[in-house]
Structure 1
């Protein structure tokens, strides 16, 4: 028995019966299980790059073990798997593929007590995102497609746009000026998308390069909450593709979609 399996037996209980019957709740339970392991690891004394690397690997191992145990016929696309960790099954021929990001926002994860990092678990089935969960372990909350809240009304009269706290792109500053919006810096792509679901912000626009695992789960949750999602040219976000690079996206309140897309169509973006 591996060290990870021993830790799982101690710290990760069996899923509740409803999680085994419902993909939405299974996604949420799996994300929360990985999140608990990450919180324990965060308190272990590791720091900096060691904590980042250990968190990515440990969360990936936990999630892969859970899928092997409870969804053995499904395929998995993970950020860590893409880096070279062996996976199961061929996702290109599978009907069901779990798309996961074991730690979204490793920088923030490695900077306790920051809470703007997440675990992403999404299910792609027959060409569409069928379920998804974004767990924010340090916040003690998980948002999933089985009970996603309707997107809340804006918290302020001026729109707020979520941006990277370390490298906000210039094109978003131009967009904010045209919309009369304020910028809200935060970490983790998933946290930014969920901030729109929670009504903390009104839009998240990204064009700096991402991968499918960065957005699959949060986009699934955003869609179930009634938000608008697309590429920045207005075309649909498509997942489980041969090329996993999905470099841009827009998630926003429906009434902001047209003015944002109009602006992006007429203003060149330097990636």
Structure 2
């Protein structure tokens, strides 16, 4: 591939290719359960890291599956990747897992691609599509194993229908695809969990922020990101206000 390929196209190509690699690993029948998840994480990460170093040698890289170094903090352009978001779902043979490839420029999630290989779908900031009409009643995505008290309380106040789902990327893209209207997360994440989903969501005209409305800022020394809100813009102010209710506390994944 030519290095002249633009950043959005590169992100999409990398996410799609890593997704095909992950499907091949799973379909090989050589691994199962947690071993399958570990193998998928490592193989996809090696591909992404080597491809980014070849295609964008001057940029920084932050990956969940690679040792972090302070070098990225000196870079304006930093690629933030999660080679396999939803390792549990991947290992269980489900479809609600994803590959995240994002480019943060001066801390902003400017470019992103999220591949959903189990659905043969890739959504990218470089090719936004029209949003579907909002659901009635609104639908809120929550963890399929440990829904957060905050999300449950906000859903009740909005009269929202809860939709359990696996990975963060799958949840965020469900909002982009119109399958749901709100993804509210409060259980602690890392930059690689939300950078690509946030970039794709913003490019599609959705709201993406911290749950108090603060902007999402990436390529920080501390890569922990405690919370995330991705939703339709017309719902954002009310959701942020509801999140400030001190009576809603809990943990999600």
With the shorter chain as reference, the TM-score category is over 0.9
When the two structures are superposed, what TM-score results if normalisation uses the length of structure 1? 0.88
List per-residue Cα deviations over 1:160-211 (Å, max 9, x = no partner): 0001111111221111111011000001001111111100000000000100
List per-residue Cα deviations over 1:84-103 (Å, max 9, x = no partner): 3x77x810001211000000
The residue aligned with 1:27 is 11
Deviation of the 1:21 alpha carbon: 2.6
CA contact (8 A) 1:20 1:26 kept: no
The residue aligned with 1:153 is 133
Deviation of the 1:127 alpha carbon: 2.9
Structure 1 gap segments, 5+ residues each: 1-14
Distance 2:127 2:119 in 1: 18
- Structure 1 SS opposite 2:201: helix
Deviates more, 1:124-133 or 1:136-145: 124-133
- Structure 2 SS opposite 1:99: strand
- Structure 2 SS opposite 1:80: coil
The residue aligned with 1:117 is 97
Structure 2 gap segments, 5+ residues each: none
List per-residue Cα deviations over 1:16-54 (Å, max 9, x = no partner): x5x733100100001111111100000111101110100
CA contact (8 A) 1:227 1:251 kept: yes
Distance 1:61 1:28 in 2: 17
Greater Rg over alpha carbons, structure: 1
- Structure 2 SS opposite 1:20: coil
The residue aligned with 1:186 is 165
The residue aligned with 2:80 is 99
Matched residue count: 249
Deviation of the 1:150 alpha carbon: 2.9
